[in-house]
Amino acid sequence: MDRYPFDAEYLRRLREGDPVTVEHFVHYFTERLTLKLWRRRYAECDRDDIIQETFTRVFEKLRLPDSIRSPERFGAYVFSICDNYERERYRTNSKQDQLDDDCVDIPALDPTAEQLWICGEEAAEVQRTLQLMRTSDAKLLVDVFVRKRPKDEVCKEYGSTRGNLRVKLHRAVARFRFLHPKGKGKPPRGGK
């Protein structure tokens, strides 16, 4: 795909709502953003939503004086607005209530044979999912959730702060959910 040479005149026409320029803008960026979002495995309806919101934000910025200082970098500007909206959307969709470190564990009742069988199947699925993950992410999940190692000890081993550990853990959980057969299927940032 060829890059279009954006300039101040193009932005002026776009800002003023010139039909030919607006049509070019929409066609040009719809193609490129669709390809970008398709590579990230978004469903068609999600891609359309992200593209529409990107266009809305770009036009809002165009109305502000001096909001775009480098017309020749307009393409990169549009892509960065798209990236920012994707991150915003991901954060909003992935917010979860987190328990405090000192929360009380609820004791399990004696399991039935059926519950033990279901647990065995689920354990096998979990094991398969962990094998699909990056080794570091899988090890972190096992250390924290299976071995229940103290978080300070895990921080020391991974060379990170508690806040950084929380971020790494959150990302590892998101990747696990994406890869797990019963997961929510939302692609995490940063790949596999």
Do 86 and 47 share a domain, yes or no?
Answer: yes
Average predicted confidence (pLDDT) for the chain: 80
Do 83 and 161 share a domain, yes or no?
Answer: no
When divided into structural domains, the chain yields a total of: 2
Which structural domain range is residue 79 located in?
8-94
Do 84 and 155 share a domain, yes or no?
Answer: no
Residue 192 belongs to some domain of the structure: no
Do 85 and 128 share a domain, yes or no?
Answer: no
Q: What is the mean pLDDT of residues 74-100?
A: 80
Where is the domain boundary, 94, 123, 145?
94
Residue 184 belongs to some domain of the structure: no
Which of 50-64, 80-94, 100-114 has the highest mean predicted lDDT (pLDDT)?
50-64
Distance of alpha carbon 21 from alpha carbon 15, whole angstroms: 9
Residue 190 belongs to some domain of the structure: no
Do 85 and 151 share a domain, yes or no?
Answer: no
Do 15 and 89 share a domain, yes or no?
Answer: yes
The three-state DSSP-derived secondary structure of the chain is CCCCCCCHHHHHHHHHCCHHHHHHHHHHHHHHHHHHHHHCCCCHHHHHHHHHHHHHHHHHHHHCCCCCCCHHHHHHHHHHHHHHHHHHHHHHHHCCCCCCCCCCCCCCCCCCHHHHHHHHHHHHHHHHHHHHCCHHHHHHHHHHHHCCCCHHHHHHHHCCCHHHHHHHHHHHHHHHHHHCCCCCCCCCCCCC
Residue with tokens 């002026």: 12
Q: How confident is the model at residue 126 (pLDDT cuts 50, 70, 90)?
A: confident
Residue 186 belongs to some domain of the structure: no
Q: Is 91's pLDDT higher than 70?
A: yes
Do 122 and 168 share a domain, yes or no?
Answer: yes
Residue 104 belongs to some domain of the structure: no
Higher pLDDT, 110 or 81: 81
We report the CATH number of the domain holding residue 173 as 1.10.10.10
Do 78 and 142 share a domain, yes or no?
Answer: no
Do 153 and 78 share a domain, yes or no?
Answer: no
Per residue in 129-179, pLDDT (tens digit) is 888 888 888 888 888 888 888 888 988 888 888 888 888 888 888 888 888
Do 14 and 86 share a domain, yes or no?
Answer: yes
We report the CATH number of the domain holding residue 31 as 1.10.1740
Do 120 and 78 share a domain, yes or no?
Answer: no
Say what the pLDDT of residue 26 is.
Answer: 92
Say what the pLDDT of residue 134 is.
Answer: 87
